Homo-oligomer: A and B are copies of this chain.
Amino acid sequence: MGPGRLHALIDGVFAIALTLLVLDLPRPAHATALMHDLQQQWPTYAAYLVSFATLGIIWIEHHGMMGAVRSIDRRLLELTLFFLLFVSIIPWPTALAADYVNAGTRQARDVAILYAATMLMMGLSFAWSWRYLGAHPELVAEPARRAFPAGTRRALLGALAYVVAIAVALASPLASFTLDGVVVVYFALSSSDVPGLIVTSSTHE
């Protein structure tokens, strides 16, 4: 058995996390001012978009890494599940962020820290997988092996950005969330930073 079933579990968890986010979008009770209520809840939509985009970009990056993996061992399975723990938990700080960002300085700060800390753990666990594969080249297809140090650095760069977001939250929760959004945009635009990983592919199914 190759990595096929590990891919299936990863794709399943991402698909569900992406879709569960919608359960926390506001569904106001019967009201006479629906649009007004929805407008007041803009932080919910912002948090939804940032979390959806972060999950999407992380899926693309992880998909790129796994595309170079030719063999799996039990340790890689465990590292992947550790990574999926933080992927699957994201709807939770997202819901809290939406609820608390307008709830007063202290609550907003705590929630901004919680959100960035979750993303930090996701980044660190992703970097751990990159590094493990870099140290076990026998699991990786020949032409992609040299990409793994750059991949590890890229994941650690993301983690570092979330450390900054935690520090910023102490001064301004809103600036911290804005930084979380900027990180997504940066990673979306800098896709070619891991040389040797060829996402483009042309295998028949």
Contacts and interface: CB of A to CB of B under 8 A. Distances in A.
B60 A77 contact: yes
Interface string A74-110: 1001100100110011011001100110011011001
Contact of A71 (B4, B34, B81, B202): B202
A60 B82 CA distance: 12
A17 B105 CA distance: 35
A107 B34 contact: yes
Instruction: For the complex of A and B, list the 10 residue pairs with the smallest distance between their C-beta atoms, beginning with the closest.
Output: A12-B15, A2-B203, A1-B67, A71-B202, A56-B81, A8-B11, A16-B19, A73-B200, A19-B88, A25-B92
A89 B22 contact: yes
A34 B72 contact: no
A43 to B, nearest CB: 13
A9 B14 contact: yes
Contacts of A92: 22, 25, 27
Interface of A: 1-9, 11-23, 25, 27, 30-32, 34-35, 52, 56, 59-60, 63-64, 66-67, 70-74, 77-78, 81, 84-85, 88-89, 91-92, 95-96, 99-100, 103-104, 106-107, 110-111, 188, 191, 199-205
Contacts of A199: 72-74, 77
Contacts of A52: 85, 88
Given A15-B16, A56-B78, 8 more contacts: A4-B7, A11-B12, A13-B15, A19-B20, A56-B81, A60-B78, A70-B202, A74-B199
A31 B100 CA distance: 9
7 contacts: A1-B63, A18-B88, A23-B23, A64-B74, A71-B201, A72-B201, A78-B188
